[in-house]
Structure 1
Amino acid sequence: MEKDGVLTAQMVSSSVSQLGHFGTGMQRSYHSLSLPSHNLSDISVLCNYVYLQKLELPHNKIRDLSCVSHMPYLVILDASHNEISNFFEFQPPKNLKEVNFSHNRMIKMKDLSAYLSLSRLDLDYNSFREISGLEQCCKLIHLSLAHNRISRISGLDSLPLRHLCLRGNQLETIEGLENLKSLQVLDLSMNRVSSLSGLQNLHLLGSINLEKNLISEIQECKHIHNILLLRDLNLLRNPVQEQPDYRLAVIFLLQHLTVLDQEIVSAEEKVSSVNKYDPPLDVVAARDHMTHLVYQLMQPQVLYDSSTLPSADSPYPMLVLTGPQGCGKRELAHRLCQEFNEYFAHGTCHTTRAPYFGEENGLDYHFVSEEDFQNMIPMGKFIQTLQYGGHSYGLTRDAIEDVAREGLACCVHMELEGVFSLKNSYFEPRYILLIPVQVETYMGHLKDRGLYTPAQIDVAVSRIELYANTNRQRPGFFDNVIPCDDREEAYQTLRQVVKSYLLLEEQEEGENNNRASPDNTSTGQEPEEKPPSAPPRSGSDSLTSHSDTALDPSDPSYRSYFTKIQAELSPQKSPAELASIRRREQLVREAIVGKSPGVYSQLFKSTAQTAPSSLHNQDLGSHFHEDSSSDESRASSALSVPSSAGALSGFVEPLDTSVLGHTVETAKDPAASDQPPDTPRPGTDQAPAIVSPSSERRPGSNVKPILPPIPTGRKTPAAPSPAPSPRPDPNPAVEEGGDTNMEE
């Protein structure tokens, strides 16, 4: 009987299991029957076993399953690896949930609307050509149709599928899956799929198997970029794997992956992918800085003999205006340089874009070709470069040095990427952010210029948030933030900020105080500047700064020294050169009295230095208290330059540029005076000199000071200082140490 493939009652009784209750609960019967690999072909005897709930008949030769019609309680049916050709040829059991008909001879699917409880259906290794009859299976969550002949996905609309396997079919495109909103696992391996289009709306997908398909482009991953729950992706044996940096590129596009091609994605790979394909501004700036630094070191080092660096480790003063495209930073920079032409000059950058209407080569930008720009990079010309809008921009050291030769601070404008790059260098500019507040007004400015396409305008508007987030997330990144919706109002605000940086407000206050002094009460006007040969002022003149008490032109050494200086000056000097010369003279005067590099040379340093422990400008009898613990602290205690606008006021008193002789005499012959160095001269206000109370205890305080060399601005002969112009001369306190310092 067994050899004939006929199932007998004896065989059933030996294979049933899972004894349980049935009917009224008073009777008991076996619920499970498992007969694998028994070579069965006739199982009609099972018609008598109506209480079976689980029937397993794999690896037999069964062709007829009509006996299942007599099993109303059947829940699980496994008839895989048989010879069944009829699709569900039995009366549907009411509670049938799982059916496995894999490895059979089925050709056509039929309507399964009567199987309302069906949740799992396995039809692998049959000969189905299309999917049909499943529309009413409202509980079907697992469907497997691997290794059939299906060439098109259809008939799955609105099914609550969570797992779908179509492995080893003839699919060329992914379609018909748009409505499977609950799908979590999709297996499309061993097909002919060349595009991932069609998966973009399946937001619950967590695993996609596309092994051995025809995907050749990495950009196809963009279709599944927004599937945030995707954790496992398999692209093995696809042409795309032959592309360079394939793995990093896929990881970059799908940052949420944890397994790619059956290998775990590490955190290091994710960081490397971001740094390679979309690096943060910090990373780009660091690479840019390293590139230019290496190229500069490879070039022969050039000594700028006409530079106005006060010392080798002092940076040039710089002012950087930054903001979104078309916010007006270029116009404000030019206007600022025109008004404050004794302090600023425009640093002209290089660019590969074409000039806009009204732009001049060499004034607004140096317009060069892309080839020339790229050739300048290996030559070590640039301090920083950036890419924006498909064009290259760069700031050269020569542009800054040209300004420095005039003894001025460099004012430049750039995008945010350039700011990040410049912050990696050892320049220490002041950074002012110009940001639009009203987007509509900003867009109106861009449209009115007629230079930008709608796409460029959208990009510029989107970058407003980038600037805002940078300022919000990085406190102190910008020294000041100015709204630029109203250009005139923005310039007035910028003007006040710059005046605070330059201490011009204190200068105006000091001039007003001078006008109210006893010497000026009769005329109410400013005293004329005395020529070098004029008689020296008496010691009874009222002085307004602490340092004035330490300087007096009444000594003969002042006249001889100043005459020597004037003899070397040339009458052909320009106003800018004369201003630079005066500032360099001030450096000499500061060095003689033992003061650190002057105010102007430190005005644009963004990092604060050690400040004096106390300084009271309102009390003429107050003192500077200087820390005598080290030479470094003493050198940096002359001025602290905070990064916020206006914070400099109150830190420094004006220094009279016309009083040099007393310092020279005191430096050369301290014994010539009957009074100690820190005692005020008779007839002057009782304001002490800028001398630390502990200066007598400093090492080397008894050594005669040595006059440092005067920094040379230009190689041409110098000219005497011109007569006072209608506009008041800049405050000497602002000019002191004013050599434009930049460092590479």
Structure 2
Amino acid sequence: MKERTVELFPAALPGVCPPGSVSDAPAEEAPGGAELEDKSDMERSCVLTAELVSRCISHLGHFGNGPPLYQLSLPSQNLSDVSILRNYAHLQKLELPHNKIKDLSCVSHMPYLVILDASHNEIFSFFGFQPPKSLKEVSFSYNRMAKMKDLSACSYLSKLELDHNSFSEITGLEQCCRLSHLRLAHNRISRISGLGSLPLTHLCLRGNQLERIEGLENLNNLQVLDLSQNRITSLSGLQNLCLLGSINLEKNLITEIQECKHIHDLLLLRDLSLLENPVQEQPDYRVSVVFLLQHLTVLDQEKITAEEKVSSVNKYDPPLDVVSARNHLTHMVYQLMQPQVLYDSSTLPSADSPYPMLVLTGPQGCGKRELAHRLCQEFSEYFAYGICHTTRGPYYGEENGIDYHFVSEEDFQNMILMGKFIQTMQYGGHSFGLTRDAIEDVAREGLACCVHMELEGVFSLKRCCFEPRYILLFPSKAEKYRDRLKSRGLYTPAQIEKAVSRLDVYAKTNIQRPGFFDNVMPCDDLEEAYQMLRLVLKEYLLLKEEEEEEKHNRASPDSTSMASANEPVAKPPSHLLGSGTLTSQSATALDPSNPSYRNYFTKIQAELSPENSPAEFASIRRRERLVREAIVGNSPGVYSQRFKSSAQKAPSSMQTHDSGSHFSEDSSSDESRASELSVPSSAGAFAGSVEPLNSSIVEPTLETLKDQLSSDQTPDQLAAATSPSSDRRPGSNVRPVLPPIPTGRKTPVVSSPKPPAGETESANMNG
């Protein structure tokens, strides 16, 4: 190796070495004896010699057809003079760390130099040489430089390390168009500047005097940033660095967790270190940062687990499913802790007959409250408004006890502890809740409850035992919706923007959860929305079928009345069927508990001609008496008796037992009483003789008959309730099919058991 080196570098041959080398040392000893000799040895040890170069140089190879290239590494050689290297023009990599070098002018004579490491020396001059054009990596760390100069000549410079110097300002780097790594740790820099739009990917400013982050907004390629050991108090200034993957902010002065909002949108950020910052003393510091920066994988040099991410989301922004599950569990526990109250007239849900409800949902200010009130006014025989509780103040035009029950937050929390609510939600900093008493008050009137609520309330209500129909009122035009909110003058600009932004939440819920809502309709125009809502409710209530039947009856009253008495009642579509309710409005036409039955006999008498026979009037009076007894509970409902009388001509599918079966001896009294009942041949007029009820066709046992009569259900309904069904109501997700909302029925007033006959008797029944 030594011989090959000498051949390639003739200047290194003995006798041709540069001045100052070992071969040029004087032959005679200088006067002074041993001291001079020691001094001469020390001087020689600080000067680089050709012999040392020959021992430490290594061949790197050829670059194309060019000259051979070499690497020289001289670490920790106590060198102070390396001027001999100006004769080594073919060096490509020069490493001189941990020496005492002050002058590097020899580098100007190395046109092929690519890598220069002069760290841990005593260099004062920043790039005190003519930089080679091919120079790419330079390290001047741990020197005594204080001022930077223009490096526009270093067009290929990609890595520059200037740690542990005395720089107070970053200058001269604007033209380094290929600089990707820059280190300026432990200097005296107090302000970040002079970086422009450099293509930096790694930047280290550790251990300086920085107080804020600035001058980085144009570093679009930055991926790793080290700002530790400074005086930074805010993360503002990092918002636009979308490629950042690692940020080191150890030993700074960050005090607020909310500072993480500035880097919330840096989706590629994976590693963040805030060690030894005051913010670590905040309660729930780690879980809060993990929540704000869900894309992190390492925080404070510790790996973030999936469990931490889930718990952070459930703590600060739980999904609606989690919130509803928690609320439902809370209300169930507190409700079970209270004394249970049973209402004789309650129609709240049971396993056999779910209580019908209608829920209008939609974003804030979409008009659902106005539509709910209007529906309850028009369909007053079917619906009543369910009044919720809220902790917010009343808006203009709202009245306590009509629109909401306005209560304080303390009272609201006390009601939760008392188990009053079945559903609660938080929105806009206020609490909203639907109590059991609000539904119970409506249920005792025999009506379906109509309420309105936000999406959070729908999720909570779906957890309980109620199975409402959910109708989503959705503003399809965001700008028109925003203008409507502004025109009301009730909301701040922030509230308006939040309400508009929640349109996406409703839309995604409807798309991602098919069948979550029973119906979706636009509400850009409230009048059009109400008309659509009326049509939907008429379909739910089967009022269209009733209207069509009435029109048909007017066209041919005789034929239709005869057909209605002898033919089985047609069932509605299967998706409207369910347990515990009537199958159609036509089937409920003679139900004594139906409010429409109040005027039933008046209509009959108006249709009767003056030539009616005494037998027909007697039949009418007998039916009035039976209805009266059925209302007060003394006898089965007249509708049930009517159905049994027509069972002889009904199809065989309506019979569940052998036609030859009879009542047992225990049922003889009921059988004899039933045989006395007479049933008209139609609902509109009576003609011919009245036939007694034939007990041979009544098939169930006495116990089954009593259950049927007490529930006022038709055999079709009982069959539908007992037979398994795989149908699923769209809005219930997993629950059985919700029955159609039944005809509203007020709790009947108990009349005297024996009112006078004739018109007085009819008037009492109509009342």
The two structures have a TM-score, normalised by structure 1, of 0.74
Shift of residue 671, structure 1, vs aligned partner: 12
State yes or no: 1:6 paired with 2:41: no
Q: Which residue of 2 aligns with 1:492?
A: 531
| Matched position secondary structure for 1:87 | coil
Measure the CA separation in 2 of the matches of 1:386 and 1:418: 6
Tell me if the contact between 2:151 and 2:175 (Cα under 8 Å) persists in the aligned partners.
yes
Q: 1:458 to 1:582 in 2, by over 3 A?
A: farther
State yes or no: 1:70 paired with 2:132: no
Q: 1:492 to 1:407 in 2, by over 3 A?
A: same
Shift of residue 17, structure 1, vs aligned partner: 0.5
| Matched position secondary structure for 1:345 | strand
Shift of residue 482, structure 1, vs aligned partner: 2.1
User: How is 1:164-179 mapped onto 2 (pairs within 5 angstroms)?
Assistant: 164-179=203-218
Q: Which has the larger share of helix? A: 2
Q: 1:452 to 1:666 in 2, by over 3 A?
A: farther
After TM superposition, the structure 1 stretch with the greater mean CA deviation from structure 2, 264-273 or 234-243, is 264-273
Q: Which residue of 1 aligns with 2:311?
A: 272
Measure the CA separation in 2 of the matches of 1:247 and 1:583: 70
State yes or no: 1:459 paired with 2:501: no
Q: Which residue of 2 aligns with 1:15?
A: 56
State yes or no: 1:157 paired with 2:193: no
Aligned match of 1:86 in 121, 125, 140? Answer: 125
Q: Which residue of 2 aligns with 1:607?
A: none
Letter in 1 for 2:47: V
Shift of residue 78, structure 1, vs aligned partner: 0.8
Shift of residue 557, structure 1, vs aligned partner: 13
Measure the CA separation in 2 of the matches of 1:17 and 1:143: 29
Q: Which residue of 1 aligns with 2:609?
A: none
Q: Which residue of 2 aligns with 1:243?
A: 282
Q: Which residue of 2 aligns with 1:409?
A: 448
Q: 1:381 to 1:198 in 2, by over 3 A?
A: same
State yes or no: 1:382 paired with 2:421: yes
Measure the CA separation in 2 of the matches of 1:567 and 1:145: 99
| Matched position secondary structure for 1:53 | strand
Tell me if the contact between 2:623 and 2:638 (Cα under 8 Å) persists in the aligned partners.
no
Letter in 2 for 1:668: E
| Matched position secondary structure for 2:502 | helix
Which structure is larger by alpha-carbon Rg, 1 or 2?
2
Measure the CA separation in 2 of the matches of 1:399 and 1:500: 26
Shift of residue 414, structure 1, vs aligned partner: 1.1
State yes or no: 1:479 paired with 2:479: no
Measure the CA separation in 2 of the matches of 1:552 and 1:221: 66
Q: Which residue of 2 aligns with 1:350?
A: 389
Measure the CA separation in 1 of the matches of 2:115 and 2:528: 80
Aligned match of 2:169 in 127, 130, 135? Answer: 130
Letter in 2 for 1:199: L
Measure the CA separation in 2 of the matches of 1:312 and 1:518: 41
Measure the CA separation in 2 of the matches of 1:311 and 1:559: 37
Shift of residue 185, structure 1, vs aligned partner: 0.9
Q: 1:264 to 1:19 in 2, by over 3 A?
A: closer
Tell me if the contact between 2:170 and 2:192 (Cα under 8 Å) persists in the aligned partners.
yes
Letter in 1 for 2:445: E
Measure the CA separation in 2 of the matches of 1:724 and 1:453: 62
* Higher RCO structure (Cα 8 Å, ≥6 apart): 1
Q: 1:560 to 1:442 in 2, by over 3 A?
A: same
Tell me if the contact between 2:627 and 2:637 (Cα under 8 Å) persists in the aligned partners.
no
State yes or no: 1:446 paired with 2:485: yes
Tell me if the contact between 1:666 and 1:672 (Cα under 8 Å) persists in the aligned partners.
no
| Matched position secondary structure for 1:377 | helix
Q: Which residue of 2 aligns with 1:631?
A: none
Measure the CA separation in 2 of the matches of 1:724 and 1:457: 60
Q: Which residue of 2 aligns with 1:510?
A: 549
Q: Which residue of 2 aligns with 1:336?
A: 375
Q: 1:47 to 1:568 in 2, by over 3 A?
A: closer
Letter in 1 for 2:113: L
State yes or no: 1:668 paired with 2:695: no
Shift of residue 226, structure 1, vs aligned partner: 1.6
Q: Which residue of 2 aligns with 1:180?
A: 219
| Matched position secondary structure for 1:104 | coil
Letter in 1 for 2:671: K
| Matched position secondary structure for 1:460 | helix
Q: Which residue of 1 aligns with 2:706?
A: 707
State yes or no: 1:360 paired with 2:404: no
Measure the CA separation in 1 of the matches of 2:635 and 2:390: 33
Measure the CA separation in 1 of the matches of 2:643 and 2:57: 107
Q: Which residue of 2 aligns with 1:372?
A: 411
| Matched position secondary structure for 1:17 | strand
Root-mean-square deviation over aligned CA pairs: 4.1
Tell me if the contact between 1:332 and 1:491 (Cα under 8 Å) persists in the aligned partners.
yes
Question: Deviation digits for residues 689-714 of structure 1, max 9, x if unmatched?
Answer: 9xxx9x98xxxx55664524858996
Q: 1:348 to 1:444 in 2, by over 3 A?
A: same
Unaligned runs of at least 5 residues, structure 2:
1-21, 23-40, 571-585, 593-614, 658-666, 677-686, 712-744
State yes or no: 1:121 paired with 2:160: yes
For these two proteins, the number of residue pairs brought into alignment is 618
Q: Which residue of 2 aligns with 1:534?
A: none
Measure the CA separation in 1 of the matches of 2:281 and 2:656: 66
Aligned match of 1:103 in 120, 124, 142? Answer: 142
Q: Which residue of 1 aligns with 2:714?
A: none
Measure the CA separation in 2 of the matches of 1:541 and 1:219: 72
User: How is 1:507-586 mapped onto 2 (pairs within 5 angstroms)?
Assistant: 507-517=546-556, 519=558, 542-546=565-569, 563=625, 566=628, 585=637
Measure the CA separation in 1 of the matches of 2:100 and 2:656: 101
Tell me if the contact between 2:567 and 2:650 (Cα under 8 Å) persists in the aligned partners.
no
Q: 1:237 to 1:162 in 2, by over 3 A?
A: same
Shift of residue 348, structure 1, vs aligned partner: 0.7
Letter in 2 for 1:394: G
Measure the CA separation in 1 of the matches of 2:629 and 2:508: 57
Tell me if the contact between 1:667 and 1:704 (Cα under 8 Å) persists in the aligned partners.
no
State, as a whole percentage, how many aligned pairs show the same letter: 68
Measure the CA separation in 2 of the matches of 1:477 and 1:272: 26
| Matched position secondary structure for 2:508 | helix
Q: Which residue of 2 aligns with 1:437?
A: 476
Measure the CA separation in 2 of the matches of 1:626 and 1:265: 66
Question: Deviation digits for residues 191-219 of structure 1, max 9, x if unmatched?
Answer: 11111111111112111111111111111
Question: Deviation digits for residues 128-163 of structure 1, max 9, x if unmatched?
Answer: 222122222222111101111211111111222111
After TM superposition, the structure 1 stretch with the greater mean CA deviation from structure 2, 310-319 or 331-340, is 310-319
Tell me if the contact between 2:624 and 2:762 (Cα under 8 Å) persists in the aligned partners.
no
Shift of residue 305, structure 1, vs aligned partner: 2.7
Q: 1:564 to 1:497 in 2, by over 3 A?
A: same
After TM superposition, the structure 1 stretch with the greater mean CA deviation from structure 2, 313-322 or 460-469, is 460-469
| Matched position secondary structure for 2:534 | helix
| Matched position secondary structure for 2:46 | coil
Tell me if the contact between 1:592 and 1:667 (Cα under 8 Å) persists in the aligned partners.
no
Shift of residue 186, structure 1, vs aligned partner: 0.7
Measure the CA separation in 1 of the matches of 2:626 and 2:465: 37
Shift of residue 181, structure 1, vs aligned partner: 1.6
Letter in 1 for 2:706: L
Question: Deviation digits for residues 638-663 of structure 1, max 9, x if unmatched?
Answer: xxxxxxxxxxxxxxxxxxxxxxxxxx
Q: Which residue of 1 aligns with 2:31?
A: none
